[in-house]
Structure 1
Amino acid sequence: MTGTPSPRQPAVAGEPFVPTADDMEATYEGVLVAGFFEDEGAIALTGDTNVALKAFAAYYSHFVGEPFFPEVLAVPDTTLDDLARYTESGYALFTRTEDGGWHVTRHDEPTAPHAVPATWLPDHDPLPDPEPTSPGQLTLPWGADA
């Protein structure tokens, strides 16, 4: 997954860094958010799924001009919390690209230099029905690689 070049960050290809507002597309609910091209979804720089979902909802409504996951939220008594099953949280490692943009990969070690908590929201249309999950387990119906 890649991001657009930041006008304030020098292009040091391959160097890890912690993103700032200049690197991401927007800030919603106090969370940095960026979408990916070619239907790759979006990333929010927080490990708190509920906060990430609120940020994704604001991001989506702003950039797309439509409600966030209307086909799911149209179901009676459905809330943004019910969408948590469509996300995946962990740690992200950002590295610079030659053009000053960035590339992000998932990282398992929260203590790794420059690793930041992140929540991914894969883009999938139409939105599939979620597979059943057990407490503490997340299964994305289209695979874990967002």
Structure 2
Amino acid sequence: MKQQELQKLVQELSTEFFGKPFNHIASFNPRLRTTGGRYKLQDGSIEVNPTVLELYDVDELIGIIKHELCHYHLHQEGKGYRHGDIDFKELLKKTNSPRYCKPLVTEIRKPKKIHLYRCKSCGLEYKRKRRMDVRKYRCGKCNGNIINIHS
């Protein structure tokens, strides 16, 4: 799907479900990672994640567009356009728009690195996500020296 086709689809969905025109720009934004789309308050445009089309079907894309159009039309009218606002929740129900999109993370996240430290005196082990300088810290139990076991 190209930018022009997306623009046309957004305009059609706006008139079909909301009865109002969409007078701004709709575009694909490949930099979006965790969200299906976003409505930009500054210029009134809607950006859609192209990964949605790669992972799911057109129905999921339509759902995301309808969700963003709820933000758009409420903001244009000066009503509550945020996720927690009553106006927004009611318009989602009225237009049968999804509250959330399906997960878009395609790559498997590698496990976080755990740094393991041990006290020389009492043997107490410390697991940390971040590295620490063993010269600056002492054991909290016995005040002994800490050594790095492995990173």
User: How does the TM-score come out when normalised to structure 2?
Assistant: 0.25
Bigger radius of gyration: 2
Greater RCO structure (CA 8 Å; 6+ sep): 1
User: How does the TM-score come out when normalised to structure 1?
Assistant: 0.26
Between structures 1 and 2, the one with greater strand share: 1
